[in-house]
Structure 1
Amino acid sequence: MPSSAPPRALAFGVACVAGAMLLFELAVTRLFSVLFFYHFSFFAISLVMSGLVIGGIASARWNVREMSERAYLSRLSALGWMFSAAMLASLSITLALPAAGATPSLTAVALQALVFLPGLVAAGSFLAAAFARDKTWIGALYASDLIAAACACIGAIALMRIVEGPAVLLVPSLLAAAAGLITAPARSLHRVASALLAAVALIALIANAAAGGYLLHLASASRDKPLVDRWNDYSRIQVVDGGADGRYIVIDKSAATVMKHVPAEADGGPPLAQAWWKAGPQYTVYRVGRPVANVAIIGVGGGRDLLPPLAYEAAHVDGYELNGILVDLLQREFVAYNATVTRPEVSLIHQEARVGIAHSGNKYDVIQASLIDTWAATSAGGFVLSENGLYTRDGWRTFLSKLSDRGVLTMTRWYVPDAPAETQRLVALAATALGDAGIADTRAHVMLISSKRADFNVAFTMKEVAAMGTILVSKSPFASEEVARVKQACAEQNMVLLAAPGIAAQYPVIDRLLDTATRRQAIDSSPYNIAPPTDLQPYFFLQLRPSDVLKLSGKSFGPVTEITFNGVRVLMLLGGCALLLTLGIVLLSVTSLPGSATRTSGLSVYRWMTLYFLAIGFGYILVQLGLHQRLIIIVGHPTFALSIVLFSMLLGTGIGAASASRLFEKRGIRGAGAAILGALLLLLLCFPAFPAFEQIESQAVRLGAIGLMLGGVGFVLGFAFPLGIATVAPTGEWAVQKMWAINGAASIAGSVLAAFIGLTLGSPFVIAAAFVCYAVAVIAGSVAEMKARGASSPGPELAVVAPARSGASAAAR
Structure 2
Amino acid sequence: MRIFSDRNRINISLLLISFSIFLYQVCLLRIISIADYYHFAFLIVSVALLGFGISGSFLYFFTSKIKNPGLIRLIFAFGFSITVFLSFVLINRIPFDSFRIMWEIKQVFYLLAYYFFLLLPFFFGGSFIGYVLQSNERPGVIYFYNLIGSALGAIAFIIIMKPIGKTGVIVSTAAMGVAATLIILNKKYLKQFLTLCLSFLIVVALLYQFYPAIFEIRMSPYKSLPSVLRNPGSKILISEENPYSLLDVISSESIRSAPGLSLKYNDVPPPQLGLTVDGDNISVITEVKKDAGRLKESDLIKRGGALEFLNYLPVSVVFESSPELKNILIIEPGGGLDVLASLYFSNHNNITVLQNNEMAVDLLKNEKIITDFNGNIYNRKNIKIYEMPGRNFIKQADDKYDLIIVSLSDSFHPVSSGAYSLNEDYLYTVESVSGLMNILAENGMISITRWIQFPPSEDLKVISTLVESAEKTGMDGISSKVFAFRSWSTLTVMFKNGRFTDGEINKLSNKIDALNFDAVYYAGVKSEETNKYNQLEKTYYFDYFKRVIESGKQERESFYRQYYFNIKPSTDNNPYFYNFFKFRQIPEIVRFFGKSTQPFGGGSYLVLISAMAISVILSLIFILFPLRLKKVGINFKRDFKFLGYFLVIGFGFFFIELPFIQKFILVLDKPAVSLAVILFSLMLSAGIGSYLSSRVNTRLELIISIIVVYIILFVTLSGFVIDFIIVKQLWQRAIYTVLIVFPLGFFMGMPFPKGIAAARQTRPEIIPWLWAVNGFASVIGSIAAVMISIHLGFLAVIVLSAVMYILALALYRYIKT
TM-score by length of 1: 0.82
- Encode CA deviations 1:124-178: one digit per residue, 9 max, x unaligned: 22222223225x6444434433332222222112333223344432222122223
3-state SS, counterpart of residue 324 of structure 2: coil
Q: For the aligned residues, what is the CA RMSD? A: 3.7
Alpha-carbon separation, structure 1, partners of 2:241 and 2:96: 17
Matched, 1:216 2:215: yes
Aligned to 1:157: 158
Aligned to 2:665: 632
Matched, 1:248 2:250: no
Aligned to 2:182: 181
3-state SS, counterpart of residue 335 of structure 1: helix
Deviation at 1:42, TM superposition (A): 5.8
Does the CA-based 8 Å contact 1:180-1:194 persist in structure 2? no
Deviation at 1:356, TM superposition (A): 2.0
3-state SS, counterpart of residue 764 of structure 1: helix
Alpha-carbon separation, structure 1, partners of 2:667 and 2:40: 26
Alpha-carbon separation, structure 1, partners of 2:293 and 2:282: 33
Amino acid at match of 1:625: L
Does the CA-based 8 Å contact 2:66-2:72 persist in structure 1? no
3-state SS, counterpart of residue 366 of structure 1: strand
What are the residue-to-residue correspondences of 1:466-477 with 2, within 5 Å? 467-477=489-499
Aligned to 2:513: 491
Aligned to 1:273: 301
Q: How many pairs align?
A: 749
- Encode CA deviations 1:504-545: one digit per residue, 9 max, x unaligned: 364222112111434334333322222222211122211233
Amino acid at match of 2:392: V
Does the CA-based 8 Å contact 1:139-1:657 persist in structure 2? no
- Cα 1:6–1:565 change in 2 (3 A) is farther
Q: 1:430 aligns with which of 466, 471, 474?
A: 466
- Encode CA deviations 1:187-212: one digit per residue, 9 max, x unaligned: 5337525752784499579959xx9x
What are the residue-to-residue correspondences of 1:235-384 with 2, within 5 Å? 235-243=245-253, 245-263=271-289, 266-270=292-296, 272-275=300-303, 276=307, 277-289=310-322, 291-311=324-344, 312-333=346-367, 334-338=370-374, 339-372=376-409
Alpha-carbon separation, structure 2, partners of 1:41 and 1:520: 32
Aligned to 1:401: 438
Does the CA-based 8 Å contact 2:421-2:580 persist in structure 1? no
Aligned to 1:614: 647
Deviation at 1:371, TM superposition (A): 2.5
Deviation at 1:184, TM superposition (A): 3.3
Alpha-carbon separation, structure 2, partners of 1:384 and 1:422: 11
- Cα 1:151–1:47 change in 2 (3 A) is closer
Alpha-carbon separation, structure 1, partners of 2:390 and 2:280: 22
Amino acid at match of 1:331: K
- Cα 1:752–1:729 change in 2 (3 A) is same
Does the CA-based 8 Å contact 1:265-1:272 persist in structure 2? no
Amino acid at match of 2:148: I
Alpha-carbon separation, structure 1, partners of 2:251 and 2:465: 38
- Cα 1:694–1:393 change in 2 (3 A) is farther
- Cα 1:520–1:262 change in 2 (3 A) is same
Alpha-carbon separation, structure 1, partners of 2:412 and 2:322: 36
- Cα 1:42–1:238 change in 2 (3 A) is farther
Aligned to 2:104: none
Aligned to 2:25: 25
Aligned to 2:688: 655
- Encode CA deviations 1:575-606: one digit per residue, 9 max, x unaligned: 223333445566436636697xx7x89x9997
Deviation at 1:415, TM superposition (A): 1.6
Matched, 1:410 2:447: yes
Does the CA-based 8 Å contact 2:108-2:610 persist in structure 1? no
3-state SS, counterpart of residue 287 of structure 2: coil
Aligned to 2:266: none
3-state SS, counterpart of residue 518 of structure 2: strand
User: Could you list the runs of 5+ residues in structure 2 that have no partner in the other structure?
Assistant: 102-106, 220-225, 254-269, 414-418, 531-541
Aligned to 1:576: 613
Alpha-carbon separation, structure 2, partners of 1:779 and 1:589: 29
Alpha-carbon separation, structure 1, partners of 2:762 and 2:373: 70
- Cα 1:143–1:231 change in 2 (3 A) is same
Segment drifting more, 699-708 vs 89-98:
89-98
Amino acid at match of 2:33: S
Alpha-carbon separation, structure 2, partners of 1:560 and 1:242: 29
What are the residue-to-residue correspondences of 1:738-753 with 2, within 5 Å? 739-753=770-784
Does the CA-based 8 Å contact 2:326-2:402 persist in structure 1? yes
- Encode CA deviations 1:13-40: one digit per residue, 9 max, x unaligned: 3332222222222222222233233277
- Encode CA deviations 1:664-720: one digit per residue, 9 max, x unaligned: 2xx465554444344334434444544443565555444433321111111111223
- Encode CA deviations 1:81-126: one digit per residue, 9 max, x unaligned: 1110122233344566789797373333443553344333212222
Alpha-carbon separation, structure 2, partners of 1:650 and 1:375: 39
3-state SS, counterpart of residue 216 of structure 2: coil
- Encode CA deviations 1:36-56: one digit per residue, 9 max, x unaligned: 332778657745753332222
Amino acid at match of 2:352: D
Alpha-carbon separation, structure 2, partners of 1:478 and 1:538: 30
Aligned to 2:243: 233
Matched, 1:74 2:71: yes
Does the CA-based 8 Å contact 2:608-2:783 persist in structure 1? yes
Alpha-carbon separation, structure 2, partners of 1:432 and 1:770: 29
Amino acid at match of 2:457: A
3-state SS, counterpart of residue 243 of structure 2: coil
Alpha-carbon separation, structure 1, partners of 2:787 and 2:673: 23
Does the CA-based 8 Å contact 1:160-1:168 persist in structure 2? yes
Does the CA-based 8 Å contact 1:294-1:314 persist in structure 2? no
Alpha-carbon separation, structure 2, partners of 1:613 and 1:67: 28
Segment drifting more, 643-652 vs 719-728:
719-728
3-state SS, counterpart of residue 347 of structure 1: strand
Does the CA-based 8 Å contact 1:300-1:306 persist in structure 2? yes
Amino acid at match of 2:439: K
What are the residue-to-residue correspondences of 1:692-707 with 2, within 5 Å? 692-694=723-725, 696-707=727-738
Deviation at 1:760, TM superposition (A): 0.4
3-state SS, counterpart of residue 59 of structure 1: helix
Alpha-carbon separation, structure 1, partners of 2:78 and 2:478: 65
Alpha-carbon separation, structure 2, partners of 1:589 and 1:723: 25
Alpha-carbon separation, structure 1, partners of 2:788 and 2:209: 45
Alpha-carbon separation, structure 2, partners of 1:151 and 1:772: 31
Does the CA-based 8 Å contact 1:252-1:375 persist in structure 2? no
Q: Which runs of 4+ in 1 moved over 6 A?
A: 96-102, 556-563, 603-607, 729-737
- Cα 1:428–1:614 change in 2 (3 A) is same
Deviation at 1:548, TM superposition (A): 4.0
- Cα 1:425–1:302 change in 2 (3 A) is same
Q: 1:644 aligns with which of 663, 668, 677?
A: 677
Does the CA-based 8 Å contact 2:650-2:778 persist in structure 1? yes
Matched, 1:541 2:567: no
Does the CA-based 8 Å contact 2:402-2:441 persist in structure 1? yes
Amino acid at match of 2:543: P
Does the CA-based 8 Å contact 1:226-1:241 persist in structure 2? yes
Alpha-carbon separation, structure 2, partners of 1:736 and 1:84: 30
Does the CA-based 8 Å contact 1:23-1:172 persist in structure 2? yes
3-state SS, counterpart of residue 663 of structure 1: coil
- Cα 1:47–1:563 change in 2 (3 A) is farther
- Cα 1:499–1:391 change in 2 (3 A) is same
Alpha-carbon separation, structure 1, partners of 2:622 and 2:813: 23
Aligned to 1:447: 483
- Encode CA deviations 1:216-247: one digit per residue, 9 max, x unaligned: 32467646542233333333333321236411
Does the CA-based 8 Å contact 2:99-2:603 persist in structure 1? no
What are the residue-to-residue correspondences of 1:47-126 with 2, within 5 Å? 47=47, 50-63=50-63, 71-93=68-90, 103=100, 105-126=107-128
Amino acid at match of 1:508: D
- Cα 1:215–1:111 change in 2 (3 A) is closer
Deviation at 1:74, TM superposition (A): 2.7
Aligned to 1:459: none
